Amino acid sequence: MYEGFLPISKKDMNDRGWDYVDFVYVCGDAYVDHPSFGSAIISRILEAHGYRIGMICQPDWKDPKSVGILGEPRLGFLVSSGNMDSMVNHYTVAKKHRSQDAFTPGGVMGKRPDRAVIVYCNLIRQSFKNTPIIIGGIEASLRRLSHYDYWSDSVRRSILLESGADIISYGMGEHSIVEIADALNSGLRAQDISFIAGTVYKTRDEDSIYDAIRLPDFEEICADKKKYAESFAKQYANTDPYQAKVIYEAYDGKMFVVQNPPAKPLTQMEMDDVYKLPFMRAYHPIYEKDGGIPALNEIKFSLTSNRGCFGECNFCALTMHEGRIVQARSHESIIEEAKEMIEDPDFKGYIHDVGGPTAEFRGPACVKQTKFGACVGKRCLYPKPCNNLIVDHSDYVQLLRKLRKLPKVKKVFVRSGFRFDYLMADKNKEFLKELCHYHVSGQLRVAPEHISDNVLSKMGKPGVEIYNAFIKEFEKINKELGMDQYIVPYLMSSHPGSRLSDAIALAEYLRDHHISPDQVQDFYPTPGTVSTTMYYSGYDPLTMKEVFVEHNPHEKAMQRALIQYRKPENYDLVKEALLKAGREDLIGFSKECLIPPRKMENRPFKGKKAFDNNKNNKSSQSGTRNKKTLNGAGSGSGNRTKSNSKSGHRGKNKR
């Protein structure tokens, strides 16, 4: 009945002539067989290696029978929360419930539990006591060792222990999941699989852990925040597949959780092979009656061209999940997928995106990375571009030109974020010219995040002078092209390091540049980022210097209100903030003032660059934070909540 999709019922198994499956994949997302969904890539890769896979998506977590509908798998269960962390999926930064889940039929909220990986594993264990469980995806990947949990405001144990699973396949997962499957198929017990790159396992025998770095014990990091920061620093220094060591931590001195070095990045041929797999590129037909899966609309007519990111923003989890080494598909592979996409009856002539975590990154940052990996303790772009950095947009430009020439293609948009500092480091501005001419429609979204060097330094972002230079270049090119386009900046409030004075400085910058942002992102502390470690510990783990962190909700509300000081509903907060900071000079009627002495009327802002992000052009925005998910033993990458959320954790790829 559902030819092409993997079995979701005993009937589907019978239709294929199967009386068992090798693996059952239990997932928090609905079943979407598309390469932007990690569950689809992992299941199809295993299928390509000869394994039988059954899918149980969004099971009833209150009913143990729901995970047994396909019977006991021959080799094991695979468990993922889906393309998003279930807690980010469910809660805003204010810890309020979201109203929609884009990965559920009809966008209905509540079809997956909080901490989905833990709940699903416990559900499986009720019925299948000894069957191996392998967990993966963004939720498992970023919780692979002990970690600060924002929602409970506590340090939690490794998800391997909390879930009762046997192995974590962390990162994107293609290599490790096949090796795990082959090891189980050879007859090895799950508890004996301790040698695979890109995995985390547990043991009671410390002597069996060879040539490894012992992190501070769990009890130590719970008692001492500085120890927590030191532990994270060691984890962060061991994210490169070529240089990383085995690292491990102890619990009560009896149980040890061991992380092997990351799996090697995929070669271009391997990347191409992944996207040749027989995906249906659609959600399962059973969801049609419920309105389909909203998340698919975000990425159905988008193309993934790369993964990994050497941009290394501190608030992004990409380094811990996908790594810093960029891997890219060939032009031929991308063009082939585009031609297939064009034949879809729903295709209207618009390719919505061509990119990845960072759109224009099309290869490793330097020649050294291809042999020796990314530098430890040194960044490619911060505080300024490395002298060894290969700054070249030509390959990406050629790819976009080829896509524009395809029949039936009216326009190709670039909606993935791109690095304006990388762009400005390129003396050849051909990419920016073509971006403005062909790939933007009115608004170009970029992410300066802030303008205060005090805050930007904690974010790992370039100084505001680079952003200002980019704006001038953008305006110059648009003038030459005779086009009326402008920039929509992404801004973040309350990031570690940001004080009230920094928020006021940002408000003054917005005033001087006639910008009135409709949306602002509060910093969201999610596992696996440098910034989250700052938020919890008060230390920058990369320097071990103390960092100011605003935890008071009211103070954070004032910082956010200052960025949107023109909104009448923010008047009281803005006035309170200015008075508290001793900036009464910004209250008045002169053009330098932010607000008048009395409460503002509800009138629209008439500045020349006012914009409403809710009104923007359909799919035409370039540089959005929409990081469509790539793959992995589940899915994961960065963290710009909602926009990415319904397409990823800051970052487009969430395995």
Q: Which two tokens stand for residue 246?
A: 């085995």
- Please report the pLDDT score of residue 284 as a whole number: 97
DSSP-assigned beta bridge partners for residue 609: 515
Share of the chain above pLDDT 70, in %: 91
DSSP 482: T
Are 633 and 76 contacting, i.e. CB atoms less than 8 angstroms apart?
no
pLDDT band at 605 (very low <50, low <70, confident <90, very high): low
Are 129 and 151 contacting, i.e. CB atoms less than 8 angstroms apart?
no
Tell me the per-residue pLDDT of 630-654, one tens digit each, with 9 for 90 and over.
Answer: 333 333 333 343 333 333 333 333 4
- Ranges 54-68, 532-546, 598-612: which has the least confidence: 598-612
Nearest-angstrom CA–CA distance, 271 and 653: 14
Three-state DSSP class for residue 212: strand
Nearest-angstrom CA–CA distance, 486 and 609: 8
Mean pLDDT of 549-566: 97
More confident residue, 389 or 609: 389
Amino acid at 497: G
- Ranges 67-76, 423-432, 530-539, 627-636: which has the least confidence: 627-636
What mean pLDDT value characterizes the chain? 91
Bridging pattern class, strands 545-546 and 539-540: antiparallel
* Nearest Cα to Cα of residue 308 among 356, 369, 243, 380: 356
Mean pLDDT of 555-573: 97
- Please report the pLDDT score of residue 270 as a whole number: 98
Q: Which two tokens stand for residue 554?
A: 């009211």
* Nearest Cα to Cα of residue 635 among 61, 5, 79: 79
Task: Tell me the whole-structure pTM to 2 decimals.
Answer: 0.91
Tell me the per-residue pLDDT of 6-62, one tens digit each, with 9 for 90 and over.
Answer: 999 999 999 999 999 999 999 999 999 999 999 999 999 999 999 999 999 999 999
* Nearest Cα to Cα of residue 651 among 379, 381, 324, 377: 324
Are 104 and 84 contacting, i.e. CB atoms less than 8 angstroms apart?
no
Tell me the per-residue pLDDT of 495-512, one tens digit each, with 9 for 90 and over.
Answer: 999 999 999 999 999 999
| Domains of the chain: residue spans and CATH | 10-199 (3.40.50.280), 479-616 (no CATH)
Three-state DSSP class for residue 94: coil
Residue matched to tokens 């359909």: 618
- Please report the pLDDT score of residue 522 as a whole number: 96
Nearest-angstrom CA–CA distance, 435 and 396: 11
Phi-psi region of 459 (alpha: psi -120 to 50; beta: other; left: phi over 0): alpha
Nearest-angstrom CA–CA distance, 353 and 624: 10
Are 593 and 616 contacting, i.e. CB atoms less than 8 angstroms apart?
no
Nearest-angstrom CA–CA distance, 23 and 15: 18
Are 311 and 358 contacting, i.e. CB atoms less than 8 angstroms apart?
yes
pLDDT band at 405 (very low <50, low <70, confident <90, very high): very high
Nearest-angstrom CA–CA distance, 204 and 457: 41
Nearest-angstrom CA–CA distance, 306 and 329: 6
CB atoms within 10 A of CB 405: 10
DSSP 12: H
Phi and psi at 351, nearest 5°, equal: -90, 120
Q: Which two tokens stand for residue 368?
A: 């050294």
DSSP 455: H
Tell me the per-residue pLDDT of 566-579, one tens digit each, with 9 for 90 and over.
Answer: 999 999 999 999 99
Are 608 and 631 contacting, i.e. CB atoms less than 8 angstroms apart?
no
CB atoms within 10 A of CB 60: 12
Between helix 174-185 and helix 38-48 the angle, nearest 10°, is: 40
Q: Which two tokens stand for residue 222?
A: 């719970």
Nearest-angstrom CA–CA distance, 276 and 392: 28
Tell me the per-residue pLDDT of 220-263, one tens digit each, with 9 for 90 and over.
Answer: 999 999 999 999 999 999 999 999 999 999 999 999 999 999 99
Amino acid at 445: R
- Please report the pLDDT score of residue 512 as a whole number: 97
Tell me the per-residue pLDDT of 273-303, one tens digit each, with 9 for 90 and over.
Answer: 999 999 999 999 999 999 999 999 989 999 9
Secondary structure in 3-state letters for 44-100: HHHHHCCCCEEEEECCCCCCHHHHCCCCCCCCEEEEECCCCCHHHHHECCCCCECCC
DSSP 401: H
Q: Is the peptide bond before 383 cis (omega within 30 degrees of 0)?
A: yes
pLDDT band at 619 (very low <50, low <70, confident <90, very high): very low
